[in-house]
Structure 1
Amino acid sequence: MEHSLRTKLSLTIALIMLLTVASISFLSNILIEKEFTNYLIIQQEKRTQEITDSLSQQYDMDTKTWNADFVHTIGMYALYDGYIVKVYDLQNQTIWDAETCDMSLCTAVMDDISHRMNTKYPQMNGEFMSKTISITKNGKVIGTADVSYFGPYFLSADDFQFLNALNTVLIGIGLFSLVFSVIVGSILAKRLSRPILHTVTVTKQISEGDYDVRITEVSKTRELNDLIVAVNHLADSLGKQESLRKQLTADVAHELRTPLTSIGTHIEAMIEGVWEPTNERLKSCHDEILRIGKIIQDLENLAKVESDNLKLDKTQINLYALSEKAVANFAAEIDKKKLNVSIEGESSDTYADQNRVSQVIINLVSNAVKYTPEHGIIKIFISEDKQFVRLCVSDNGIGIPEDELPYVFERFYRADKSRNRMTGGSGIGLAIVKSIVTAHGGMVEAESHLNEGSSFVIKLPKNKME
């Protein structure tokens, strides 16, 4: 059974508050009861001492006699407090005995205290016990007092009333806290869930293909703001990918339609006898077929590189040597355009897939050769630090517009369609470069200025990465 986020947050906050208050109440009860018990035991000892001190005041040292009336009064007050007192002189003669004075009252007091304590604290197993205390005056023993009380401690009716009131207050606080936590939890849950629910609505719209929708709400919660930024970025990225997909469809259709139309026209003319099937015309058809094959090969290469199960055959390779081989592959084009190509820097070794890295360098050099005018300059510079080896391919060619530079590594992105068609490019070389470098755990960057030239930098980790 599913519940809304707001309901779950409200219930969670309420449960946490309830458990917190219940724990505090439980621990408070234990602590208060323990301290109160110690307090009662101390007070009980003080009360017995007070009784004996009061009794000592009723002895006349000169006449060596007791004031029986006051002894009776003290004994009766003690009885009402739950203490049964017996007073003896030095000859162990009874001065006053609570049980002899009023046995029925003593029995009633003992039964009342026993019933109350055994009902409220049955685990204590308390009982009445006696304690004999010497009665002294001016430092001399004048008699003894036998004080009986319910031990190890007992609570009066007022004490129980206090504890009941305390428990009532704690229960009231718990109920108030529960209601308060539900209200506060509901408010907090509403504030937290509102932007999340809005985000869910927007993500549903994005999943349905509406990539122009954005979340404009700003939250004071950092994590929610991060979520909003991420969703907006996702919508933006998907929108760009959708545009690239449409552009890809149009580009591929155009690239395939042009040679196929040319081949179809030529063959149709030769079939109908309009053209003679000369070697030159057949060669033209063959060139167009090769062009289609090149486009398909580029598509296959990109699919292979971007495959999730791409396996890299890593060995120790030298970037300087690979750069020399890449430049040698374009010797004819370089001579034809009279380009000045140089390789500088350190002869750096790294642990990588030689064929893949060669493909990266070839793609970068190929672009530099294509888009650099006659008598232009191409520089390849190799360097390294503690973590990376760095290869930079720069030229003084036609460059890339600044607003299009962030997209040059996107699949099938073409900054200038006519320029790519003229040079024969399929527009996916840099996408392959980025995929291969990323698979190695490296980075690729581009810097360019229109009509001034471009620089492409790849960084590959020096350490072995499995």
Structure 2
Amino acid sequence: MLLIVGSISLMTVSLVSDHFDKYVQQKHDTTLTAYKNELMVSYLTSNGTWKQSKVKKIGARALQDGLILVLKDADNKIVWEPSQTLLHKATNAKNIDSMNKTTEAIKINSKQIAQAQFSHNDALGYTRHDVAFINDLRISLAGISAFVFLVAIIIAVWIARDLSKPLRQIVSFTQAVASGDYRNQLPQQTQIVEINALINVTNELSRQLSKNQALRERLSSDIAHELRTPLTTIQGSLEAMIDGIWPISEARLVSLNDEVIRLTHLINNIENIASIEHSEDKLIKVDTDLSKLIQQVLSNFQSNLEEKKITLDYHTEKVIAVIDPDKINQVITNLLSNAIKFTQTRGKIIIKLKRISDNIVLTVEDNGSGIAEKDVPHIFDHFYMADPARNRQQGGQGIGLAIVKTIVVAHGGSVSVDSKLGIGTIFTVKLPLNN
């Protein structure tokens, strides 16, 4: 910044000097042209002759302007030149030959009748007033430049201080985050919009990393717990049978087999989530009639609905969407399975499918047990169960809704839940029509 200010100041002084030089040169040229024209008029008004009195007046005036006029005729003979007395009276010149000279030809009808030689003290013919003016101007510009340069230094120091302090804080903060410390947040205290935006983004990054870290820790704990329970059951039963405490019976073997199946199902679900989360580009999307797909899923649950005497209201439009039918089948299956599981006998489930603008909206509503308000924000988290004891009794693992969200997000959509404890739950899936 300081370099720019300095360069601009130097350029300003240079440009002013250059323009003033051009002005003086133009003024000089105009003055010479005026004297030449005046000599020409004098010649014409004197019937084609040179009158010493007229030329002398012109020459004397030229001396006052700092010019020494020497007039020569067509034969290069001197018509008039100032006397030494007049010369030294009007100027300080001691040697005319050492002065700069400009020769102007005087022509009438393209015929040269004389030539006027003007001598002056410098190339541009600066007068005393010209020199004083340009010197004053340069001093003023130099003073202004120095002042601007000083102000620029103050501003640069202030900006550097305001920039460096939050940047140092951000660097220190990101180093702490990189080491796994997510406890603190950066304060937003600058007047610079861009720095504040960087602080906000950095804070949000820290929050997301903290959330992901907590999720990983809870996920690891939940997976360990979910795996430990069936393994402990299997190990205890096997040890009891090996030690002869329990006789080996078909019922116990079937129970052990059920635990193995549950364990295998859990592992498959974990693999399924990981596969969907990291393989969005592997979704096999085709044009699919969603209303027919829903009907296929409903037919698979017909016996479950009849067993609990649940009333099903089904309102759909014919909607063709670009989706992976197998994955969306799993979404509908999980949502309907949840609705049936938590709806009491003789309850009611309502399924709606409609197109809104460029989106498809699917809702699955039940009048079942509902979800507590504190549990709603976590209902799509891996292994989260609002009522763990009841869920495990019903074969739940807290992973079905996590799979639903993963699949829907992989399709570029969203899923939300609206629930009230003891009243019922509504799951809403929104998918883009053309994905």
TM-score calculated relative to the size of structure 1:
0.77
Of residues 292, 314, 335, the one that matches 1:364 is 335
Q: Is the 8 A contact 2:343 2:367 kept in 1?
A: yes
C-alpha spacing 1:345/1:36, structure 2 compared with 1 (3 Å): farther
Residues 130-179 of structure 1: CA deviation (Å, up to 9, x unaligned): 35499xxxxxxxx9994635699723263355445544544554444334
C-alpha spacing 1:161/1:351, structure 2 compared with 1 (3 Å): same
The answer to whether the aligner puts 1:148 opposite 2:135 as a matched pair is no
C-alpha spacing 1:15/1:445, structure 2 compared with 1 (3 Å): farther
SS class of match (2:282): coil
**Post-superposition shift, 1:301?**
0.2
Counterparts of 1:29 and 1:419, CA distance in 2: 92
Of residues 213, 216, 222, the one that matches 1:251 is 222
The answer to whether the aligner puts 1:311 opposite 2:282 as a matched pair is yes
Q: Is the 8 A contact 1:51 1:78 kept in 2?
A: no
Counterparts of 1:100 and 1:304, CA distance in 2: 110
**Post-superposition shift, 1:302?**
0.4
Give the partner amino acid of 1:38: Q
Which residue does 1:108 correspond to in 2?
95
Which residue does 1:41 correspond to in 2?
29
Give the partner amino acid of 2:284: D
SS class of match (1:455): strand
Counterparts of 1:238 and 1:130, CA distance in 2: 86
Identical counterparts, % of pairs: 33
Which residue does 1:7 correspond to in 2?
none
Which residue does 2:353 correspond to in 1?
382
SS class of match (2:95): helix
**Post-superposition shift, 1:221?**
2.7
Of residues 121, 129, 133, the one that matches 2:103 is 129
Q: How many residues align?
A: 421
Which residue does 2:67 correspond to in 1?
83
SS class of match (1:402): coil
Of residues 408, 426, 442, the one that matches 2:379 is 408
C-alpha spacing 1:348/1:370, structure 2 compared with 1 (3 Å): same
Q: Is the 8 A contact 2:104 2:115 kept in 1?
A: no
Which residue does 1:439 correspond to in 2?
410
Residues 55-99 of structure 1: CA deviation (Å, up to 9, x unaligned): 99xx99xxxx9769xx7686356336442335799xxx9874227
Q: How does 1:333-372 map onto structure 2 within 5 Å?
A: 333-372=304-343
Which residue does 1:220 correspond to in 2?
191
Residues 250-285 of structure 1: CA deviation (Å, up to 9, x unaligned): 222221111111111111111111111111111111
Give the partner amino acid of 1:83: L
C-alpha spacing 1:110/1:324, structure 2 compared with 1 (3 Å): farther
**Post-superposition shift, 1:328?**
2.7
TM-score calculated relative to the size of structure 2:
0.82
Residues 20-76 of structure 1: CA deviation (Å, up to 9, x unaligned): 4455555555544444443443344456678999x99xx99xxxx9769xx768635
Q: Is the 8 A contact 1:40 1:153 kept in 2?
A: no
Q: Where do 5+ consecutive residues of structure 1 fail to align?
A: 1-12, 115-126, 135-142
Give the partner amino acid of 1:396: N
C-alpha spacing 1:436/1:36, structure 2 compared with 1 (3 Å): farther
C-alpha spacing 1:300/1:359, structure 2 compared with 1 (3 Å): same
Once superposed, what is the RMSD of the aligned Cα atoms? 3.8
Give the partner amino acid of 2:413: G
Q: Is the 8 A contact 1:86 1:97 kept in 2?
A: yes
Which residue does 1:14 correspond to in 2?
2
Q: Where do 5+ consecutive residues of structure 2 fail to align?
A: none
Which residue does 1:454 correspond to in 2?
425
